[in-house]
Amino acid sequence: MGRLLAIDYGKKRTGIAVSDPLQIIANGLTTVKTLEIFDFLQDYLQKEEVTTIVVGLPKQMSGEMSENMQRVEVFVNKLRQRYPSIPIEYYDERFSSKMAHQAMIDGGLKRKARQNKALVDEISATIILQGYMESKRMKE
């Protein structure tokens, strides 16, 4: 069984998380500059087997798509062109940033560390992936 890879796509930075090969636990992997995401993915996908890519679906609290959705759709279309054999799924990311901040507080990180936006993006991707895996298990 291959890994699941989650992407919290942003205008400047993109958080990345992966599952273990058994797809039980989500782990933060890194944050990359959005302009470098395809270089990162090319390198990572050559080294690791990824069975599904999960992309955070940017919604507003009302359920409507956020302003970032247009950028995400362009990104996902490029992903599908470059990696047609890897399924790509969306997962609602509405509360991931707030949950990431709370996880940092609960983890005892100092205020300065909690201001690290790259870390927030990586944790957000981890939360998206963990939520995706849990929802998938519940459906089974």
66 or 121, higher pLDDT: 121
Predicted TM-score (pTM) of the model is: 0.84
Tokens standing for 81? 């062109």
Q: What is the largest CA-CA distance in the chain?
A: 42
What stretch of H or E contains 4? Answer: strand 3-8
Overall domain count for the chain: 1
Paired with 91 in beta bridges are 56
Q: According to the model, what pLDDT value does residue 121 have?
A: 80
How far out from the chain centre does Cα 46 lie? 19
What are the pLDDT digits (tens) for 42-59? 999 999 999 999 999 876
Helix 69-82 / helix 37-47 crossing angle, nearest 10 deg: 40
Give me the domain span that covers residue 15.
Answer: 3-139
Distances (CA, A) of 135 to 13, 42, 45, 91: 26, 28, 25, 10
Q: According to the model, what pLDDT value does residue 97 have?
A: 59
Query: Exposed, middle or buried: residue 95 (CB in 10 Å: 0-12, 13-18, 19+)?
Result: middle
What are the pLDDT digits (tens) for 79-129? 999 999 999 999 987 655 566 556 655 666 566 655 657 677 888 899 899
Q: According to the model, what pLDDT value does residue 1 have?
A: 83
34 or 1, higher pLDDT: 34
* Rounded CA separation 98/94 (Å): 9
Q: For the domain that residue 42 is a member of, what is the CATH number?
A: 3.30.420.140
